[in-house]
Amino acid sequence: MSAAFWDRLARRYAARPVRDAAAYARTLERTAAWLSPSDAVVEFGCGTGTTALALAGAAARIDATDFSAGMIAIAREKAEVEGAATVAFTQADLFDAGAVPGPYDAALAFNFLQLMPDLPGALAAISHRLKPGGLLISKTVCIGEPGWRLARVAVRGLKAFGVAPPLQFHQIATLDRAVEDAGFAILERGVFPERPPARFLVARKAG
């Protein structure tokens, strides 16, 4: 899926309300609990910047990235309105080794890993940006779980017509295993919301 897809979607995406406000509030609360005021943080797939701006007070600095210029433009508009001096928005691809090289104390990946066709490669690229002992904090939609067959059929159809992103059909157990196989020790696990199931993880890089 090209950046042009997300560029076209950016303004509509920014105008959409949060689908599950309670689950989103819990995500912010649990994430902030693991961050320190001295932390340097990177976010991958920041979209229009809502989460990075909401967490600005929980870290010393947040470098928020997205490969869509349209999303980053809106994020920068929001940051200017809010006067968010500790959050920087950069158009960058996860696999661009020269972008936001770090190392960081924590990496955020919300609604991001399910868009990565190469999950092990994505986790390795994130790990490369982290200090030894750094944290990966992520939330990933897992419609590979039993009971979501019709959702998978619908997504495949939409993808075929180019109107859906490259959503991968992860299961919770296999996602957890992939994170551990990438050299992370999982410290916290959750599922919120439950429909569709979104796996929240806090995992520490070895070292």
- Domain layout of the chain by residue ranges: 3-205
- The stretch 120-136 carries a mean pLDDT of 98
Q: Is the pLDDT of residue 8 over 70?
A: yes
Name the strand (E) or helix (H) holding 200: strand 197-205
Per-residue pLDDT of 12-37, as tens digits, reads 877 788 889 999 999 999 999 999 99
The CA distances from residue 9 to 47, 177, 193, in Å, are 10, 32, 24
Residue-wise pLDDT tens digits, 154-167: 888 877 777 778 88
pLDDT in tens, 68-94: 999 999 999 999 999 999 999 999 999
Instruction: Provide the CATH topology of domain 3-205.
Output: Rossmann fold (3.40.50)
Question: Can you tell me the distance from the alpha carbon of 89 to that of 72, in angstroms, rounded to the nearest whole number?
Answer: 6
pTM for the model stands at 0.93
Residue pLDDT, tens place only, 103-125: 999 999 999 999 999 999 999 99
184: exposed, middle or buried (C-beta count within 10 Å: 0-12, 13-18, 19+)? buried
Task: Judge whether residue 132 has pLDDT over 70.
Answer: yes
Q: Which of 136, 164, 139 is nearest to 151 (CA)?
A: 164
